[in-house]
Amino acid sequence: WVGLFGFHEIRSTAGTVAGILEIAAFGVLLGLAVLVYDPQRAGRPGDPAPARPARLPALAAAAISFLTVVAAVVFGVSVATASSGQAVPATAGGTVMLRTATIGGVSVLTNSSGRTLYSFAPDTSSSSACYGTCAAYWPPVIGNPVAGQGVTVSKIATIARTDGTIQVTYAGHPLYTYVGDTAPGQASGNDINLNGGFWHEVPAAG
């Protein structure tokens, strides 16, 4: 999902709950501001502030209701939009063509679209440790692998994920793309520590 300022966002369950709590807190804080308002004190002689109209609490209550409803509607739309887009992996299934490309002077593994493929340090050759929010940021490569030019066929294999889908592996590494790469030839996920471990681009040599 692309947010208001062009950032790619993925909303998790925890993030959704946090958003609801923020809206609730917003309403409570504004409500407290109305409750502590003392119209009698506002009109006392000697007060530095000018007297405010007695109708302020009613106006503030209306403003609280309006702003809270608006915030809830905007948040609901953002969640619905995010939910409709975040579950689609980079490779939904079918045939997966593995290729090679030179990125930053290194020959690395890519998918058929030229997107860099990554390995996750906590993984093993038979299991993936990336699920939930992790898999939203690092979509696993799912499908039946086919070797393109420069790819060693004997290094290609597959593993079963917990949801029953088949993930492609290379040289014993389950493969992933990265949502931070927005075009072929990028490797912004290389050598970074995210979602519980280090990520590395997969060299074509294995």
pLDDT tens, the chain, 206 aa long: 444 444 444 555 555 655 666 767 666 666 666 566 555 555 555 655 555 555 556 666 676 777 677 666 666 655 554 443 333 343 456 899 999 999 999 999 999 999 999 999 999 999 999 999 999 999 999 999 999 999 999 999 999 999 999 999 999 999 999 999 999 999 999 999 999 999 999 999 97
How does DSSP assign 40-54, residue by residue? Answer: HHHTSTT-SSPPPPT
Tokens describing residue 17: 């709950």
**Any idea which residue has 């929010």 for tokens?**
133
Is the full-model pTM beyond 0.75? no
Residue whose entry in the numeric block shows the structure tokens 């608006």: 70
Block residue for tokens 């290094």: 155
Report how far apart, in Å, the C-alpha atoms of 17 and of each of 13, 98, 206 are.
6, 39, 42
State the Cα torsion 166-169-173-175 to the nearest 10°.
Answer: -70
